[in-house]
Structure 1
């Protein structure tokens, strides 16, 4: 995930995931922090040297719409809601739709994240 300022995004994601980065990389024209998530997935944040000033995420542009994290059941979605509340991170609340349950969050750059459980 490209971010504009790691000094702002890293603390947000540390709060979100409840753990700090497992790796720091700086072997290119960028700085990167990689989080090792509890399910074995890796999630990376990258601040490129050539950041466009004032640029913000927009899901209507070609590219990323949002990042979704699957939850196994309604209790797992509720656990994320409770964690976000405890961490002081604003969110959408749990939304019920015909496809399942969704809980949405935006990071400091406006990047959209969703914790969801598919119906059925």
Structure 2
């Protein structure tokens, strides 16, 4: 019996050490719009969920969890899509105006890539749907295509 179908990604939850700081950063950088807050029993808000423009129905959640945030530092669990190289370059310029350090535009495995960190050091990737056409499959750390089983 085949598995039931999925309807997309409902939300992505990112652990943070300081919710107000991270919320403000995601609002400034991405235009994050909070739709719900999650208070503890004492009324302290420890989590929020909302929309990032361009993600459709997929929501972003930020949740205070210092231990998990420390464990994710330097990791890249979230790759956000942009259409092409010009879009990556526009994001680099946007980050420059905000004073946020970022990588140069990278010719990655398939498309172009921009890497930068959130306030807790989580690596965020902006990756293009457009492909550059170069074959980097022989380079260490780069991906190679795999034939799907028939």
Q: Could you tell me the TM-score, scaled by structure 1's length?
A: 0.76
Match of 2:111 among 93, 100, 107: 100
Match of 1:46 among 34, 41, 63: 63
Q: 1:19 to 1:43 in 2, by over 3 A?
A: closer
Q: 1:111 to 1:18 in 2, by over 3 A?
A: same
| 1:7 and 2:20 are equivalent in the alignment | yes
| 1:36 and 2:34 are equivalent in the alignment | no
Q: Is the 8 A contact 2:84 2:128 kept in 1?
A: yes
Q: Is the 8 A contact 1:25 1:32 kept in 2?
A: yes
Between 1 and 2, higher relative CO (CA 8 Å, sep ≥ 6) is seen in 1
RMSD of Structure 2 on Structure 1 (CA): 2.6
Counterpart mapping for 1:60-99 below 5 A = 65-99=76-110
In structure 2, distance between residues paired with 1:18 and 1:30 = 20
Q: Which has the larger radius of gyration?
A: 2
Unaligned runs of at least 5 residues, structure 2 = 1-13, 134-150
Q: How many residues align?
A: 113
Unaligned runs of at least 5 residues, structure 1 = none
Q: Is the 8 A contact 1:21 1:33 kept in 2?
A: yes
Larger strand fraction of residues = 1
Q: Could you tell me the TM-score, scaled by structure 2's length?
A: 0.63
